[in-house]
Amino acid sequence: MKNLREIALPELEVMMAAMGEPKFRAKQVHEWVWQKFAADINDMTNLPKVLREKLAQEFFIPKVKMHHSQYSSDGTIKNRLQLHDGYYVESVLIPTEKRMTACVSSQVGCSLSCKFCATGYMDRKRNLDFDEIVDEVTLLNELAQKHYNKNLSNIVFMGMGEPLLNYKNMMKAIERISSPDGLGMSPRRITVSTAGVAKMIKQLADDKVRFKLALSLHAATDHKRNEIMPINESNNLAALIEALNYFYKATGSEITFEYILFKNFNDRLADADDLIKIYRQVPADLINVIEYNPIDAARFEKPDEETTDEFMKYLTSKRVNVRLRRSRGKDIDAACGQLANVDTPNTPVP
């Protein structure tokens, strides 16, 4: 059985002609798949029954299903999504006064083994297909409409997995999400976060992408970054700085650094100085300093408020554009670095 959503409109037209069907049938099928988000070929009620039966013999629609949701006291909603082959991923809807953000996953598990991230302690089972990523976004958009009467305003690839190691599907999903006959979202409202794959950052540049890029930095020396992010051993800071400058020169797209503060590891003023050195070498728009969200598997702790304030004030005094990103959904393990596919029950809407 083939995935019907992998058949592009021109191919559908050829296929319909081979079946002796008029050309407009292809557009009808395409609309059912990408605008009406049909879950089954039999739902395509404006197609003749005979045609539906023919299609059902050869194709299926591997829809992602909502398994359950958890509701945070701050309005964040974490969702466990079931894939057609029985695997699960988690995604998060994050509402604020100005934004309605979907945090989506790109892989089942992750292969990078970052020491502070719950997903990093999982095995990578497989990449998500492009249409599964689109389903994630669609389901979160429906959730936003249902609970907040708003559409998504932003999408961040900051969930489970490394998006640049699922490059083809990520790119195809973003193309579909930003298509006028899809969700029609501007690429400028989409941010792809990477742990740092220099070769693929350069590929983004060569592909002239229009979305934003975030680098999960978290330590500003190779020694410390090697300790918490094994990927740095093959993609060191010098290679990443070169790749980010190459990316900006080719695209002009916004670059952000993500920097989680860990108690007694990267939260001193000397660490801030190292961070500033990196910041000065890249045309980054912003450093997001992130509160650490503890996980059972890791030894890290969150620094106290005084240390965090001192770190922030020091960066600001050095004319660094920096913002403290407060965690959302901590009470349901939906915050940054906490997605791990834990099988928890539905929670009632507060």
pLDDT in tens, 332-342: 555 565 556 54
Q: Do residues 124 and 111 make contact, with C-beta atoms less than 8 angstroms apart? A: yes
Q: Given a cut of 50, is residue 345 above it in pLDDT?
A: no
Q: Do residues 220 and 250 make contact, with C-beta atoms less than 8 angstroms apart? A: no
**What is the CA angle 117-72-228, rounded to 5?**
10
CA atoms within 13 A on the CB side of 100: 16
pLDDT for 121 equals 86
DSSP structural state of residue 9: H
Q: Do residues 215 and 196 make contact, with C-beta atoms less than 8 angstroms apart? A: yes
Q: Of all residues in the chain, what percent carry a pLDDT higher than 70?
A: 93
Pairing of the two strands 88-95 and 77-82 = antiparallel
**Stated pTM of the model:** 0.91
Which amino acid appears at position 88 of this protein? Y
pLDDT for 346 equals 41
User: Structural domain boundaries of the chain?
Assistant: 2-60, 65-332
Q: What are 166's two structure tokens?
A: 């699922």
Residues with catalytic roles:
90, 336
Mean pLDDT value of segment 8-34 = 95
Q: What are 45's two structure tokens?
A: 């009620």
> Which of 45-49, 74-78, 224-228, 323-327 shows the lowest mean pLDDT across its residues?
323-327
Strands (E), the chain: 2-3, 59-60, 65-71, 77-82, 88-95, 100-103, 107-108, 126-127, 154-157, 190-194, 212-216, 255-260, 286-290, 322-325
- CATH topology for 65-332 is TIM Barrel (3.20.20)
pLDDT in tens, 263-310: 999 999 999 999 999 999 999 999 999 988 888 777 889 999 999 999
Please state which CATH class domain 2-60 belongs to: mainly alpha
Report CA 114 to chain centroid distance, whole Å: 16
3-state secondary structure of 174: helix
pLDDT in tens, 162-219: 999 999 999 999 999 999 888 899 999 999 999 999 999 999 999 999 999 999 999 9
